[in-house]
Structure 1
């Protein structure tokens, strides 16, 4: 395997355009795995799936400033490009797109992509404008690289739903591939932001996965719960952890992200799609998200 060098690390849109031109007519399937870097095993799982399903794998590493709000952690977001390139080489990545902010945004951004209806709730309610930044940068990356498939982790299930809707609405010829959440052995969902947690905060954060996985197990055991009861139970159980400051606990349809009514059962056969049970909770200064998806039962 070739060692990653500046030769196969793309830093400009022009280099990416040349890459796209070079593959024309060769019937090669290209995958894009968009990330903000500080890669971990969750990202590696995306790369492995992309590698197994495509001829070429492109990894993008870009901390996107326009998806961060005032006072958020853009400047201190963890970065380690050398470590990222080593992981990319290990996972057989063909090309890394590693642009600077000035390359992606050479002038103030006057055009943004907005997906209405899916971005005003959950994380969008507490981070206004966040998803406009996400969809805009993902749209730019899809246009620059021109992949056949793009891979996203299900940990940010709202992001998956929003990007899938954007691609469908704009008739872009790319398949959005969601991939399962990867967790530590103790259940904590992998996140680049986990590095912010103190030892005590990290232990406290296990309250999220512990309760969500219990919800999932209860659903599989056909435990009957209304959406209201489930929300209240989750909120109460998470609140028992003194370090947990809840942003939201929500139960919505997936991928439609429609809130379930208080008396709707989470096993309701009439639901449109599956059910997303999602939480966002702060531990100290670190805001973590996690979720489980309850698959709708089908009568046979």
Structure 2
């Protein structure tokens, strides 16, 4: 099967010209932003974006602004040829009109970019408040990088809607605020987390870093989230009880827990009890040098 089954663009001008042609035909366009190393979770986002005969743009760009100098930018997996082949097969199987936007760093950051935030120059987008908590507590640069590159993609592609995965729930909350605050004329769609059908581990590009032994233990966090979800369904709304349920399962397998949070879906503030607006139960843990995240939604849908 040929990888030419999808259009591949490397410049802003190419994408905009293609998008204008679709606009003239009255076609809707969905955007799926990715950093590549695609797996079944990404392909499910593409399927969601391609519903109702919409054309789909999948961006593949390892965004330097999301990384700190000590993080894994240099070693982050870059598998563009394999990614395009997967997308081509998926597009043919599901009869999708699909394009890949795989720009260079200089195309996305024409004034240059460094991972050293103190030396960065140019235009960046920040969503204050929601970006500094949870994941932002240990990665204060991360959501500034996400908001910046996604806002660029929104301007380049001009999608009718953009699809993101629930696994990155804080990212979804930050981007929802950005879409509202900056009046982007699009709909943000959050698709359910895609999990391993055998043990429930959330699919992630970083799972490939896990050893066989680590891979066996990693799903314990999700088992804890499920236990807490069952407690909530039975009427438990207290923070300590719900977090304790997660911690108990995770600690059975010796997971190195970084944090467990029960937060408001509106502003990500920490909750002592779950009210009528519901809550996000989330956390991060490490398996050796690999950092993983997961969450469940309690009492609301995004």
Q: TM-score if structure 2 supplies the norm length?
A: 0.90
Question: Where has structure 1 moved over 6 Å in runs of 4 or more?
Answer: none
**How much has 1:228 moved relative to structure 2?**
2.4
How much has 1:255 moved relative to structure 2?
3.8
Map 1:73-152; keep pairs closer than 5 Å: 73-92=72-91, 93-108=97-112, 109-152=121-164
> How far apart are 1:187 and its partner, in Å?
0.9
Whole-Å separation in 1 of the counterparts to 2:186 and 2:71? 31
SS in 2 for 1:25: helix
The aligned residue for residue 226 of structure 2 is 213
Matched residue, 2:238: 226
Q: d(CA) in 1 for partners of 2:259 and 2:246?
A: 10
For residue 263 of structure 2, what is the aligned residue in structure 1? 252
CA offset at residue 49 of structure 1? Answer: 1.0
Change (3 A) 1:102 1:208: same
Question: Is this contact kept in 2: 1:274–1:294, CA < 8 A?
Answer: yes
Structure 1 length normalisation: TM-score? Answer: 0.90
The 3-state SS of whatever aligns with 1:254 is: coil
Q: Secondary structure at the match of 2:263?
A: strand
Deviates further, 137-146 or 209-218? 209-218
In structure 1, stretches of 5+ residues that fail to align are: none
User: What is the CA-CA distance between 1:194 and the residue it aligns to?
Assistant: 0.1
Specify whether residues 64 and 289 from structure 1 end up closer, same or farther in structure 2 by C-alpha distance, changes over 3 A only.
Answer: same
Root mean square deviation of aligned Cα:
1.9
What does the per-residue CA deviation read over 1:196-239, in whole Å, with 9 as the maximum and x for residues that have no partner? Answer: 0001111111111111112222222x242411232234234323
> Is 1:255–1:274's contact at 8 Å kept on the other side of the alignment?
no
